[in-house]
Structure 1
Amino acid sequence: MKSITNFFDRIVQRYLPDAFLFAVILTIIVFIMGIFMTGSSPIQMVEHWGTGFWDLLAFSMQMALIVVTGYVLANTPVVKTALEKTSMLAKTPGQAILLVTFVASIASLINYGFGLVVGALLALQVVKRVPSVDYRLLVASAYSGFLLWHGGLSGSIPLLIATPDHFLQDTIGTIPVTETMFSSYNLFIVFVLLFTLPFLNRMLMKSREGMEIVNPVDWETSSFEDKYEEVEKNERQTPSERLENSQIISMLIGLLGLAFIIYHFATNGFDLNINLVNLIMLFLGILLHRTPRRFLHSVNNAVKNVGGIIVQFPFYAGIMGMMVDSGLSEQMSLWFVSISTEFTFPLFTFISAGLVNFFVPSGGGQWAVQGPIMIPAGIEIGVDSAKTAMAVAWGDAWTNMIQPFWALPLLAIAGLKVRDIMGFCVIILIYSFFPIAIGLLFF
């Protein structure tokens, strides 16, 4: 384990470029593949790329707000105290790894955006409590919890096919979550990963013993640390300054936001989507910072961390445009269908989804690409459509471990680069293949 872990870490540290260059290289690869594998002309591939380039603008804003609102909320006195108390459960590096992995996994099962933020914020507090822990591995452990998201309550594919009038309604009808999220095979995968990932990450920590651990973040000057000096109150404040320091203003707008959140849950049940996660963190941040001036000071510091998301996500949208419009994603999926039997179809669907996810790293977007191909093929072979859908869902989650797309918000909060954690994530990817494959094949 020591030699394997250190091998992947060295390879990634040496050869994996910055996340932006990773997206650029993927763009070039897909462009060339589209020409040679689909017969598309260079002009057509350029058109596919440019047409799709801005398709993720709304999603990019959601991810940017995940970082900003998570930063703002984490720097409120109340949340800082709560995170510090939670971090006190870890007294040793091993306990730190176990704690962060388990908490991040639970949070990701509740909601994927929530899991990314909670894992990063807890890692920041835990490393201050246990400074001898390998911070890069700690953040990788936080990200490993994200592996469980598509088997949890915010899984986009199982939620979509349980919704009336979804785009495959005429083919499979509506499939309740009892046959997807709460099926025996999905519960097996979730519980095995939930209770073994912490110990796998602890084994990775053991394999690092004896090596020099250099934590690349200076906590005293970290951009995450939000230093704020209270403005002295005096009678000479202008009306605008009094408004900026008014707790009443923050209270009124904060309570308005929380009223809508309560109304949403009362009328829609536990529908914790990404927009609602952002809304909750935004208005709690407004309330807990107490004054607009404190809140805006924190926001100004937070936006420094979202540059990677703003610049890189349009490139992934362009990659998705080339994959879908050229037919490249369809060709990949059909090849796996051609070599499948009734027994192996869920496994090959999972693997194909993992491959396609590398180029189309969005759960909903990937289902729109693969669902119309894999579902009819599964029905023809005799495979249950619910299992086919969950095989695509787990494939989407699986290769997120080595696809920087989803790691960007977490890394922005943690203050690391993708190469800092990806060597460890390769081991997590290899290990997680086995419980997922067993669940899809034998349950």
Structure 2
Amino acid sequence: MEKQKKGKIEKLSDFFERVLPDSITIAFILMIIVIILAIALTGAPLITSTENQLSIVDSIGQNFWNLLAFSMQMCLASILGTVVAKSPPASKILGKACAVPNSVLACYLFSCILSGALSWIHWAVGWFGCIVIAKQIMVQAHNKGLKIHTPHFVATTFIICLMMGQGPSASQIAFGATPGYLKSLVDPSTASGLKDYYTIIEVACQPKAIITELLAAALMFILLYKMRPKEDAKFFDGMTKERLIDYTATPDLSADKSTLAKRLSNSAVIGVLMGGLFLVYAIKGLITKGFAGFGINEFNMILFGLCLVLCLRPRIFGELFKESVTSVWGFIVQFPIYAAIFGVMTGTGLDSVISNAFLSIASTRTWPSIAYVYSAFLDIFVPSGGSKFIIEAPYIIPITQQLNVDIKTILMSYGFGDNCTNMLTPFWWIAPCGMAKIDYHKVMPYAVVACGVSVVYFTIAMFFWV
């Protein structure tokens, strides 16, 4: 029998597997690149800091643990989101909802539209929710005999999620809506020309922003769907037995009450009472602070409350939580590395060197596109929208004023840049790949192509915003 040749996607996936190490090694390589650039471009000392400049060693050491709180927030968001989805009531509801699509195309459309909408409402909801939705749809598709390539389906859903991530909860939009915050990031002269705040409605909901995002999502969907591996391919990576077991795992609902300890562990009163308290607090905060004040902590509080209420018994909650812990190892070990990269960028002044290089070629017409490219480039080294904005704001806001460009345009341009290179950064694929039980290298062919096309699209699109 003639051996079937691998298709282009399989060959590209094999190529990335040969040349790209695991995600933690990539993080270390990025750190080495930043260190070399800092020494070469800023003359940063390696060990001993000077009066005006931190050394490489001090920049790393003083910033290494700065993302511990954020690491725990991301771990909890990932685990709690999975527990909510696996809880008995949610599993039934998701199963019925995700059983609606009856064709492969319908499965892709349903997953991407729902995930994209969730992502626009809140990036964390979309980020974790999209994989929960994708897994349920893949299970239902498998039950109907529909063949879906798992890495491609996860990649497509998550990339669309990224394309639609510049809604009300995006970091720079939330910063802009916080009274006085943008002014605190710039010099007094620049601050005097800024409004006290820019509302979420006037930034995230401006028609050209929504149209730009929707067109980008549609373009990405068409592109990625065209790249879908053929169902009859020998190397088709569909639903495996291991994935099916993981995706459909349900907790033991039996309630052993033979001892006091077991009665307490299986007490629905405890679960509902504690969950209800958490939900009341979160909802109260949402009412008093508004959507602009709804951050990752509030999101996690709602998830925590939902987990307890939906699981009913503390034992079920604990078992599901333990099952989901393995998917977040990357957050724990990689976030300190990215915090160190962030420290070297700011401590040595490398961020100023890079920003000045971009700003030196800007004009009123080209500035939104240049700001987009700069944001996308810096995101590779500092893949945290909130942290990176603090680096960029002291430079991009003054030049925005000098060139008479609308600050709302630059806030969106910044966010679009984040979205695109997030596709390439292992940092953002930790949760999707971990939750879906797929190898990071399997999504890279789709991510690289989508990133390249989106960079061209947004660079051109932002040129017409002025």
Counterpart position of 1:121: 132
Deviations 1:227-248 (A, max 9, x none): 43344545xx222221111111
Is the contact made by 1:258 and 1:280 (CA closer than 8 Å) also made in structure 2? yes
1:130 aligned counterpart, secondary structure: helix
Is the contact made by 1:354 and 1:396 (CA closer than 8 Å) also made in structure 2? yes
Shift of 1:195: 3.3
Counterpart position of 2:180: 165
Shift of 1:91: 2.3
**Equivalent runs, 1:27-426 vs 2, <5 Å:** 27-43=31-47, 44-131=55-142, 132-168=147-183, 170-171=191-192, 172-173=194-195, 174-205=197-228, 210=233, 212-215=235-238, 218-219=241-242, 222-223=245-246, 225-231=248-254, 233=256, 237-271=258-292, 272-426=294-448
**Residues 231 and 210 of structure 1, relative CA distance in 2, 3 Å threshold:** closer
Query: What letter is aligned with 2:64?
Result: F
CA distance in 2, matches of 1:34, 1:8: 33
Q: How many residues align?
A: 440
Identity of aligned residues (%): 28
**Residues 293 and 356 of structure 1, relative CA distance in 2, 3 Å threshold:** same
Shift of 1:75: 1.0
1:42 aligned counterpart, secondary structure: coil
Does structure 1 residue 25 correspond to structure 2 residue 48? Answer: no
Is the contact made by 2:99 and 2:141 (CA closer than 8 Å) also made in structure 1? no
Query: What letter is aligned with 1:104?
Result: S
**Residues 226 and 130 of structure 1, relative CA distance in 2, 3 Å threshold:** closer
Shift of 1:395: 1.0
**Residues 375 and 232 of structure 1, relative CA distance in 2, 3 Å threshold:** closer
**Residues 223 and 19 of structure 1, relative CA distance in 2, 3 Å threshold:** farther
Counterpart position of 1:13: 17
Shift of 1:222: 4.8
CA distance in 2, matches of 1:222, 1:364: 37
Counterpart position of 2:51: none
CA distance in 2, matches of 1:397, 1:126: 24
- List alignment gaps of at least 5 residues for structure 1: none
Is the contact made by 1:116 and 1:143 (CA closer than 8 Å) also made in structure 2? yes
Q: TM-score, normalised by structure 2?
A: 0.88
CA distance in 2, matches of 1:5, 1:187: 32
Is the contact made by 2:229 and 2:236 (CA closer than 8 Å) also made in structure 1? no
Query: What letter is aligned with 1:406?
Result: W
- List alignment gaps of at least 5 residues for structure 2: 1-5, 48-54, 185-190
Q: TM-score, normalised by structure 1?
A: 0.93
More deviation, 133-142/375-384: 375-384
Shift of 1:335: 0.6
Deviations 1:11-60 (A, max 9, x none): 32322211111111111111111111111022211211111111111110
2:178 aligned counterpart, secondary structure: coil
Is the contact made by 2:149 and 2:229 (CA closer than 8 Å) also made in structure 1? no
CA distance in 2, matches of 1:73, 1:95: 25
Shift of 1:141: 1.3
More deviation, 380-389/54-63: 380-389
